Structure 1
Amino acid sequence: MTAVLQTALILLVLLQVKHLFADYFLQSKRMLAGRGEYLHLGRAQHAGLHAVLSVVALLLVGAPLPFTLVLCAAEGILHYHIDWAKGRHADKTNHGPADATYWRAFGVDQLLHQLTYVGMIWAWAIYAV
């Protein structure tokens, strides 16, 4: 296995652990409230937390700081909009955990976040290695 592939897998693990903490352990009530509103301080804080923790992950694998800051700013913007779309959908449908459509939206949300990480690793491999 090449060093680049090993580092990519380490980065993937770091981003997965980051996602676990930012999405499930570190969300405040403000971050969870009003998810369907477009301009929402809590969602901005949540997306910012994701971006900051991604900076840490990328720096741990030796990515250059300017590249890391640009990539993580893009991730924060994407994360904000992915979560807003899920919140808007939840507000429009008024579905909760007892409804299958809630879990479909949750699954699509998580898939989009995971695809964001694939894109970030891809960008790292092209521009930072």
Structure 2
Amino acid sequence: MLILLVLLQIKHMFADFYLQTPRMLSGRDKYLHFGRAEHAGVHALGSIIVFVLMGAPVLFTFWVVLAEWVVHFHIDWAKACWSVRKKHSPTEAGFWRAAGTDQALHQMTYLAMAWAWCLCVA
């Protein structure tokens, strides 16, 4: 499980901090936002790679990654709505509270995915 969590962390770092495009970052407070869907898709693709490397069955991988896509999409949407409404900038504590909450929720998602992997696969 530790290897799975490390791989999910590496995937998260690249998907959240290296692979975001301007389209993914703009207008994120709109619910039907293609850029956010695309960003969640980058996360999903990375997770598919992780679960393939871990030898997870195809059906398990499909369902857990679909759930991750939905959860990631909504976590990011909620953060965007909050951030736009509050107009926080990186110089304000509220910005960092929102960013920290967003990241913590993503990490809890990975713990849930690892738990599902342990229950269903390992």
Alignment deviations for residues 81-124 of structure 1 (CA, whole Å, 9 cap, x no partner):
00000000011001110110010000000000000000000000
The counterpart of 2:64, out of the listed 64, 71, 90, is 71
Q: Which residue of 1 aligns with 2:79?
A: 86
The counterpart of 1:36, out of the listed 29, 35, 42, is 29
The counterpart of 2:39, out of the listed 30, 43, 46, is 46
Alignment deviations for residues 31-63 of structure 1 (CA, whole Å, 9 cap, x no partner):
000111111000000001101110110110111
Q: Which residue of 2 aligns with 1:13?
A: 6
| Whole-angstrom distance in 1 between the partners of 2:7 and 2:37 | 22
Q: Which residue of 2 aligns with 1:103?
A: 96
Q: Which residue of 1 aligns with 2:117?
A: 124
For structure 1, the residue ranges without an aligned partner over 5 or more in a row are: 1-7
The alignment yields a C-alpha RMSD, in angstroms, of 0.5
TM-score (norm 2): 0.99
| Whole-angstrom distance in 1 between the partners of 2:62 and 2:26 | 28
- Tell me whether 1:26 sits opposite 2:26 in the alignment: no
Residue 16 of structure 1 deviates from its aligned partner by 0.3
| Whole-angstrom distance in 1 between the partners of 2:66 and 2:45 | 9
Residue 10 of structure 1 deviates from its aligned partner by 0.6
| Whole-angstrom distance in 1 between the partners of 2:51 and 2:112 | 13
| Whole-angstrom distance in 2 between the partners of 1:24 and 1:45 | 14
- Please say which structure displays the higher CA radius of gyration: 1
Percent of pairs with identical residues: 53
Residue 128 of structure 1 deviates from its aligned partner by 1.3
Q: Point out 4+ residue stretches in structure 1 off by more than 3 angstroms.
A: none
Residue 65 of structure 1 deviates from its aligned partner by 0.8
Q: Specify the code of the residue in structure 2 equivalent to 1:92.
A: R
